[in-house]
Amino acid sequence: PTTLKMEANILVLGADGVGKSALTVRFLTRRFIGEYGELESMYSHNVCVDGKEMIFNILDFPYSKDPTEESCAEEEKRMQWADGYVLVYSICDRASFNVICQTIQLIKAAKDCLGTEKLPIVIVGNKRDLHHLRAVSSEEGRLLALSMDCDFYEVSAAEAYHGVLMVFHGLVDKIRESKLVT
């Protein structure tokens, strides 16, 4: 039997400054460099998951603060392009948590997904190292994920690689499942 190399398109979303770029770069390079540009970045990355070769196309896209009709249409296209979503908020930033609640609804609308269908989404509470500044409890993150039927992780892109790896590998499992079903 021929083994097809699977491709997964992953969109990283969340408010400004939550660590979307830090998470993406940490996953790709295992490193934390501290400061990142503000531009969108597309990465293609070969990975081996459970002994299978895969290509990840990861789009790290900045949050648009003043959406226009045009930017919303573009956003919808990106959401349709993606097979899986990493939704990032900062545990120190309540507003960023509210942003991902809205984003989930936008994804569902873009994918024409009616309630029951499960989308490959992981919710990530980043900056776990800044627990003294915590504004969103773990419980809230977990409950949101439960209500949306997605996975949830709290991580620190600054301090640890392992949690970040779990996020992306967990997402790939979900994408694989969804591709087997459809």
Binding mask 10-29 for Mg ion (x = CB under 5 A): ----------xx--------
Least distance CB 146 / ligand GDP (angstroms):
23
Q: Which residues pair with 58 in a beta bridge?
A: 10, 43
Q: Contacting ligand GDP (CB under 6 A), which of 91, 119, 150, 157?
A: 157
By a kind-dependent CB cut-off of 5 to 8 A, residue 34 interacts, out of ligand GDP, Mg ion, none, with: ligand GDP
Q: Report the candidate in 63, 49, 54, 46 with the shortest Cα–Cα distance to residue 12.
A: 63
The pairing of beta strand 52-60 with beta strand 41-49 = antiparallel
DSSP state string for 115-135: TTSPP-EEEEEE-GGGGGG--
Q: Contacting ligand GDP (CB under 6 A), which of 126, 136, 144, 163?
A: 126
Least distance CB 36 / Mg ion (angstroms):
5
> Of 6 and 130, which has the nearer Cβ to ligand GDP?
130
Task: Give CA separation, 70 vs 64, 66, 75, 76, 99, in Å.
Answer: 11, 11, 9, 10, 20
Q: Report the candidate in 141, 139, 164 with the shortest Cα–Cα distance to residue 151.
A: 141
Q: Contacting ligand GDP (CB under 6 A), which of 11, 13, 22, 164?
A: 22
> Of 149 and 159, which has the nearer Cβ to ligand GDP?
159
C-alpha to C-alpha distance for 170 and 163, rounded to whole angstroms: 10
Instruction: Return residues touching ligand GDP (CB under 6 A).
Output: 14, 16-22, 34-36, 126-127, 129-130, 156-158
